[in-house]
Structure 1
Amino acid sequence: MGVAIRAAGEADRELVVGLLDAAFQDDPVSAWVFPDAEHRRSTHPLLVAAFTDIVLAAGRIDVTEDGTACALWMSVPAGAQDQDEDGPAQLRAAVDPENARVELIGRLTADIHPAGRAHAYLWMIAAAPGRQGEGLGTALMASALDRCDREGLPAYLEASSARSRKLYERLGFELLGGPLDLPDGPRMWPMWRDPRG
């Protein structure tokens, strides 16, 4: 595809936060977590900044060389459970203390996260709004999935829209169990991909 991809570092933090915020402002799950659009505009950047900091510290962020797309990955060891029971509550306290949905989304996704096998977990992937549909997300995914295949590592994610679910299916992901229906909100699809080769 000709898309150059590199691992992001601390110097890329603001770039990554900006990409995630712009790409997910109108995402169905983000709109459910922050139903008021004005509040979402001011608070959503704090949430994606917290996610970025977590992954910079303990995972891997891939970014296109031109800075128009990124993907946040965490490595989950074999047998790992939700290791930080207080994580969702701490996130809520740091980002939006009055908003129970910030904590709830963390607990609900942790409840459906597969345990047992080591895997790579795609936390978020984003392309700048003006660059969506150009294959940047596919290039980021292909690079990471090639890494997974070389390492014999499965990959897991939760698709937050029907459109993204179709993309992940084209990349070899399959539904893992039933969907997650957020209370009075949208549906998320847990998806799994076994390594190839």
Structure 2
Amino acid sequence: MSATVRPAAASELAAVGALIALSFDRLDANHYLVPDADDRLRVMADFFTLYTEHAAGHGRVDVVPGPDGPAATAVWFDRTGKMPEPPSYDVRLAGLAGPYLERFRALDELFDTHHPEQAHWHLAFLAVHPWAQRRGLGGALMARTHAELDAAGVPAYLEATNGDNVRLYRRHGYADMAPYEIPLPDGTPFFRMWRPAA
């Protein structure tokens, strides 16, 4: 399929959150956050939608359209200035996480502790629907923002979730940071990566 990249419409943000949850459903981190498979897609879709809505006002949400909604998405935060929390974050997180709240708080603490202080853009989520994977859509989504960041002299940061993703990001100019592996309480690692402006 062609990789037509465009900004997500406000009416698409919940569908973007659901796409990320589906795309990430097999990740060890998602299984840590919501161990019960019956709850996982619902809780994670709400969680990703919360952040996707926030990114729409404090960064960028791009999509590649598919026949029945977004086929792929990139969710970015502009961290060149102060980044506020999503409105009513603690209340909203407690409401969506339910019995898994402490696990989400552990994720927040992990990311907050290890987030770079240097000005950058943060690629929070890059997700492709399972039927559309390995067609270059993730690369096309990154290329759109990377070109603008390079022109402005702004680096990018992300937390990769597994070796396949690390290899993809290395092909697009990201390099390992120190510390590189940052683990959740159960040992599930994320991998910190940085892309200097070209």
Q: TM > 0.5 between the two? A: yes
Share of identical aligned residues, percent? Answer: 28
Return the structure number with greater strand share: 2
Superimposed CA distance per residue, residues 51-71 of structure 1 (whole angstroms, 9 cap, x where no aligned partner): 222112322101114331000
Q: Aligned in 2, Cα 1:160/1:90: closer, same or farther, shift over 3 Å?
A: farther
The alpha-carbon deviation at position 143 of structure 1 amounts to 1.4
- Aligned residue pair count: 193
Partner in structure 2 of residue 191 of structure 1 = 193
How far the C-alpha of 1:42 sits from its partner, in A, is 3.1
In structure 1, the gaps of 5 or more residues are none
Amino acid at match of 2:184: L
Distance 1:95 1:153, change over 3 A: same
Structure 2 partner of 1:111: 113
1:146-157 equivalence runs, <5 A: 146-157=147-158
Asked whether the 8 Å contact 2:122–2:156 carries over to 1, the reply is yes
Residue 41 of structure 2 is matched in structure 1 by: 41
Contact kept, 8 Å, 2:17 with 2:47, in 1: the verdict is: no
Distance 1:69 1:90 in 2: 29
CA gap 1:156/1:184 in 2 versus in 1, 3 angstroms: same
Match of 1:131 in 2: 132
TM-score by length of 1: 0.89
Contact 1:176 1:191 in 2 (8 A): yes
Rounded Cα–Cα distance in structure 2 between residues aligned with 1:20 and 1:84: 20
1:168 corresponds to which letter in structure 2? Y
TM-score, with normalisation over the residues of structure 2? Answer: 0.88
Name the counterpart of 1:76: 79
* Structure-2 residue corresponding to 1:162: 163
Deviation at 1:89, TM superposition (A): 3.9
Shift of 1:173: 0.6
For 1:135 and 1:5, the matched residues in 2 are separated by: 12
Letter matched to residue 31 of structure 1:
H
Distance in 1 between residues matched to 2:182 and 2:110, nearest whole Å: 8
